[in-house]
Amino acid sequence: MTAADAKPRRRVRMDHLDRLLELTYRAERTHFWFRGFRRFVAPWLATAAAGRTGLRLLDCGCGTGANLALLARHGRAFGFDITATGPRFARAHGVTRVARASIGEIPCADASFDIVTAFDVLYGLPDDLEQAAVREMARVVKPGGAVLVTVAALESLRGGHGALAKELRRYTTASIAARLASAGLEVERVSYTHCTLFPLVYGVRAWQRWRGGGTAAPSDTEIGVPAAPVNAVLSAALTMESWLLRVVNMPIGSSAICLARKPR
C-alpha cells in the first residue's frame, strides 16, 4: 500500500460519505443489519480462503474499518477508503493497515492479494468508475484468488437510506454476476441476502417513496439502532437466515453477495 494519507487522484463528493460513515460508526457494533451482514459474509470469506491461512486480503472502500476483523481471520488484512474520515474511524477501531485511496485506481501491485473485497461500495459509483473499480479488483487479486462483493439489491427497494447514501443503482444477482464476469472473473456463487426482512424493508421504502411523491427523501432513520427488543428479534431472524444461506441461495433480498475467482 501507499502511505496512509496518500490522496486519491479521482475526486468525489465527500460530505454525504462522511455523514454516512459517522452514522455507521455509531451503529455497526449492535445494529441488527450489520450483525446479519457479518454472519452472511463470514462463511463466504471462509469459502474464498479455501482452508488456507496467512493470506493477504484487501478491503476496498473499507469505511470505518470494522469489517477488517472478518478478513484478519484469514491472514493480513489491509483496507482503504476514499474519505479521510474512514481511516480515522478505522484507527479508532485499532486498525492500522488502512490508507486513503480510490477504488478506481488501487495503489497496489498487480496480483498482490489472495482475497479482495468491496462491501456496499459499487452501487454509489458512477458508471465509468464502477467499471474501473471491478477491473482494478481483478487486477490486484492473484490468479486463483477471490473477489467478494456485496451490493444493494432490487430497484423496488429504493428509499430514504439510498437517497442519503447517494445510491446510483441497485443490482440483481444476475447483474452483479455479469459485472464481475466482465472483468474476466469466474463467478462461483451469487445470492440475495436479508431475505427475511424483505417484506418489512419493501413496506418502509414504498411508504417513503409515496410520501415523497415518487422519490424518497434522504433519511437516516434506518441506520439508527432500534429499541433493544426489536433489535434482538430482527438480529435473530437474520441469524437463522445466515444458517440457511450456508446451504441454499436466497430468492430475494435487500442486498446481494457475489463470490468470483480470477482464472489461474
**CA–CA distance, 13 with 164 (Å, rounded to integer):** 13
pLDDT in tens, 202-214: 999 999 999 999 9
For residue 239, the tally of other CB atoms under 10 A from its CB is 14
**CA–CA distance, 149 with 22 (Å, rounded to integer):** 22
Q: Which domains does the chain have, with CATH numbers?
A: 15-261 (3.40.50.150)
Is residue 133 a contact partner of residue 166, using CB atoms and an 8 Å limit? Answer: no
Has residue 6 got a pLDDT over 70?
Answer: no
Q: Output the DSSP codes for 177-222.
A: HHHHHTTT-EEEEEEEE--TTHHHHHHHHHHHHHHTTTSPPP--GG
Count CA atoms within 13 Å of residue 208 on its CB side: 23
CA distances for 150 relative to 70, 94, 177, 230, angstroms: 14, 24, 11, 25
Q: At what angle do helices 32-49 and 228-245 cross, to 10 degrees?
A: 20
| 264 CB burial (10 A radius; 0-12, 13-18, 19+) | exposed
**CA–CA distance, 116 with 241 (Å, rounded to integer):** 25
Is residue 114 a contact partner of residue 81, using CB atoms and an 8 Å limit? Answer: no
pLDDT in tens, 81-108: 999 888 888 888 788 899 999 999 999 9
Of all residues in the chain, what percent carry a pLDDT higher than 70? 94
Question: How does DSSP classify residue 251?
Answer: S
Grid cell locating 96: 492500522
* Residue of 29 and 60 predicted with greater confidence: 60
118, 150, 111, 117: which is closest to 262 by C-alpha?
A: 111
As a whole number, the mean pLDDT across the chain is 92
Q: Range with the lowest mean pLDDT among 87-91, 122-126, 132-136? A: 87-91
Q: How does residue 14 score in pLDDT terms, banded at 50, 70 and 90?
A: low
Largest Cα span, the chain: 52
Grid cell locating 169: 443503482
Q: Is this prediction's pTM over 0.85?
A: yes
Has residue 253 got a pLDDT over 90?
Answer: yes
pLDDT in tens, 158-184: 999 999 999 999 999 999 999 999 999
Count CA atoms within 13 Å of residue 239 on its CB side: 9
**What pLDDT does residue 87 have?**
87
* Single-letter amino acid code for the residue at 240: M
